[in-house]
């Protein structure tokens, strides 16, 4: 049986080739020699070092399958492309030209240089697809499904010009933004676009590094976030060039990013520490921290960023802050923790304490928001190798900053609908409730936490 190959590029430079051997059902990746020697080159991931020319096995397969959409979106994409959802190679052949990070995956025949060509979006079609009851997804706009971004939500990588004109990259060109419509399960998760935009703005106030986001109304809501894995000239402007549009100035360039599942060599199905279904459990927060510390080589900075990300997600009730919602970004010479993304208050969507009120990671021994105490944070601090007082100080700092949630909502009212304000008022109330837990936890003295742990252990 034949072996098939896809070429992997960064800009016009070939990084290597991904080969699928259908007979043995095996994957391998071979670095191009020129890439191995290039001074500005990077590894696909720390576990796939370019010091070794060839990598094989699940490490390769999992790295590439992590680039694909997940859940219902994976079903939709694979149906649209007529490729099995269990065939990451076949899917990437169809949709790998504009991935997360720097990689451009193309079949062995094509090797286009970085493009500057874009197609104007049919706004009527976009608006129809952005409705939460739309039969067709945003991602397949114009029947040109080419995006491979992870996640279960519908989304569209696009270029937004200075006038908020929306354009789709032609093969080889890069996007500047990710657009997300309201969650398609509107009845359960209404106004998710406003929710995410608000949480991202609050995160910025809380001192987390986040990309710029905005809410578009076409008139359906779209959450639009700048891609932190793209570098481009501002302001972005395009001019008509025949049937297409051409970007003025330099083409958009790609920066490499990987999520923590890729950093750990795990498949996307292991993103949750405690999965709901019969999949294997994913990494706990200690393994996540270790992976990030090891990749960045900056223990203190990495730990601070993880601690802030965990506490912020806890405060807003983001029950979905799993291992694919934290990434590493290649900054020329080293990995750094990527800006935060996908920050959404999920717990606001359920009044039932049994549903959506569990944090994705164990903090100490608990996941239930109200049950996470000073002892839980003490154990969290100890497990990731920082002093409890350091975590306590972070809890207090973030507590104070998210205390501005109500004020922020007032400032944002002008850009929100009445119903969005209603939902976000509930988010603010939830943050206040979680802040009370955190306040109580933060006032637990280390001696008391240690004594409580002693008791818990001997009991």
Positions that interact with ligand ATP (CB under 6 A): 70, 100, 149-153, 178, 211, 225, 227-229, 259, 320, 324-325, 327, 341-342
The nearest distance, CB 21 to ligand ATP, in angstroms, is 28
Contact mark string toward Mg ion, 267..306, x via CB under 5 A: ----------------------------------------
- Within 8 A by CB and 6+ apart from 443, the residues are 374
The nearest distance, CB 330 to ligand ATP, in angstroms, is 13
Instruction: Report what 228 binds from ligand ATP, Mg ion, none; CB cut-off 5-8 Å by kind.
Output: ligand ATP
402, 206 Cβ separation under 8 angstroms: yes
3-state percent helix, strand, coil for the chain, nearest multiple of 5: 40, 20, 40
Nearer to ligand ATP, 151 or 251 (CB): 151
Nearer to ligand ATP, 327 or 362 (CB): 327
Instruction: Report what 100 binds from Mg ion, ligand ATP, none; CB cut-off 5-8 Å by kind.
Output: ligand ATP
Single out the residue of 25, 135, 102, 54 nearest to residue 332, CA to CA: 102
Contact mark string toward Mg ion, 302..341, x via CB under 5 A: -----------------------x----------------
Instruction: Report what 347 binds from Mg ion, ligand ATP, none; CB cut-off 5-8 Å by kind.
Output: none
Nearer to ligand ATP, 151 or 181 (CB): 151
Q: CB count, 10 Å around CB of 358? A: 18
User: The dihedral of CA 44, 47, 51, 53: what is its sign?
Assistant: negative
Nearer to ligand ATP, 150 or 386 (CB): 150
Q: Which residue has the tokens 């001997």?
A: 458
Q: Which residue is nearest to ligand ATP (CB)?
A: 151
151 binds Mg ion (CB under 5 A): yes
Q: How far apart are CA 136 and CA 128, in angstroms?
A: 9
Residue 422, CA atoms < 13 Å, CB-side half-sphere: 6
Nearer to Mg ion, 155 or 256 (CB): 155
CB under 8 A, 24+ apart: contacts of 360-363: 360/272, 360/273, 360/313, 360/318, 360/319, 360/320, 360/321, 360/322, 361/273, 361/284, 361/285, 361/288, 361/310, 361/321, 362/273, 362/274, 362/284, 362/285, 363/285, 363/310, 363/314
The nearest distance, CB 118 to ligand ATP, in angstroms, is 18
Instruction: Report what 227 binds from Mg ion, ligand ATP, none; CB cut-off 5-8 Å by kind.
Output: ligand ATP
Nearer to ligand ATP, 100 or 311 (CB): 100
Burial 116-138 (b: 16+ CB within 10 A, else e): bbbbebeeeebbebbbbeeeebb
Nearer to ligand ATP, 331 or 410 (CB): 331
Residues found in the chain: 459
The nearest distance, CB 177 to ligand ATP, in angstroms, is 8
Q: Using CB under 5 A, which of 98, 273, 342, 379 touches Mg ion?
A: 342
Asked if residue 347 has a cis previous peptide bond (ω within 30° of 0), the answer is: no
The nearest distance, CB 324 to Mg ion, in angstroms, is 6
What is the size of the binding site for Mg ion (CB under 5 A)?
3
State both tokens at 294: 């090891």
Instruction: Report what 225 binds from ligand ATP, Mg ion, none; CB cut-off 5-8 Å by kind.
Output: ligand ATP
Single out the residue of 443, 459, 324, 276 nearest to residue 373, CA to CA: 443
List of residues contacting Mg ion (CB under 5 A): 151, 325, 342
């Amino acid at each position: 049986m034949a072996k098939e190959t896809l070429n992997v590029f960064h800009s016009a430079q070939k990084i290597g080739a991904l080969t699928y051997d259908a007979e043995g059902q095996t994957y391998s990746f071979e670095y191009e020699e020129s890439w191995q020697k290039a001074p500005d080159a990077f590894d696909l991931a720390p576990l796939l070092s370019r010091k070794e020319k060839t990598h094989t096995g699940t490490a390769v397969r999992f790295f590439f399958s992590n680039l694909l959409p997940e859940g219902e979106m994976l079903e939709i994409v694979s149906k649209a492309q007529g490729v099995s959802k269990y065939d990451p190679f076949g899917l990437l052949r169809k949709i790998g030209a504009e991935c997360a990070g720097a990689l451009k995956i193309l079949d062995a025949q094509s090797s286009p240089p970085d493009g500057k060509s874009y197609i104007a979006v049919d706004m009527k079609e976009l608006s129809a697809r952005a409705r939460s009851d739309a039969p067709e997804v945003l991602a397949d706009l114009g029947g040109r499904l080419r995006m491979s971004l992870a996640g279960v939500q519908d989304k569209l990588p696009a270029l937004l010009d200075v006038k908020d004109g929306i354009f789709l990259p032609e093969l080889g060109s890069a996007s500047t933004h990710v657009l997300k419509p309201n969650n398609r399960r509107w009845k359960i998760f209404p106004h998710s676009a406003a929710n995410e935009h608000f949480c991202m703005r609050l995160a910025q106030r809380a001192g987390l590094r986040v990309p710029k986001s905005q809410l578009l109304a076409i008139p359906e809501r779209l959450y639009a976030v700048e891609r932190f894995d793209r570098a481009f000239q501002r302001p972005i402007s395009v001019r008509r060039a025949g049937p297409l549009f051409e970007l003025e100035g330099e083409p958009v360039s790609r920066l490499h990013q990987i999520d923590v599942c890729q950093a750990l060599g795990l498949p996307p199905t292991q993103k949750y520490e405690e999965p709901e279904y019969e999949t294997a459990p994913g990494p706990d927060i200690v393994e996540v921290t270790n992976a990030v510390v090891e990749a960045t080589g900056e223990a203190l900075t990495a730990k601070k960023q993880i601690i802030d990300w965990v506490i912020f997600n806890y405060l807003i009730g983001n029950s979905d802050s799993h291992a694919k919602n934290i990434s590493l970004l290649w900054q020329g010479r080293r990995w750094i923790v990527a800006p935060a993304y996908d920050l959404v208050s999920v717990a606001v969507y359920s009044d039932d304490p049994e549903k959506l009120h569990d944090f994705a990671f164990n903090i100490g021994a608990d996941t239930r928001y109200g049950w996470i105490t000073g002892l839980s944070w003490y154990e969290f601090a100890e497990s990731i190798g920082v002093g409890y007082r350091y975590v306590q100080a972070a809890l207090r700092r973030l507590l104070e900053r998210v205390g501005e949630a109500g004020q922020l909502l007032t400032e944002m009212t002008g850009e929100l609908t009445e119903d969005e304000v209603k939902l976000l008022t509930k988010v603010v109330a939830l943050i206040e409730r979680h802040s009370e837990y955190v306040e109580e936890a933060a006032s637990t003295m280390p001696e008391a936490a240690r004594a409580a742990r002693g008791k818990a252990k001997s009991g």
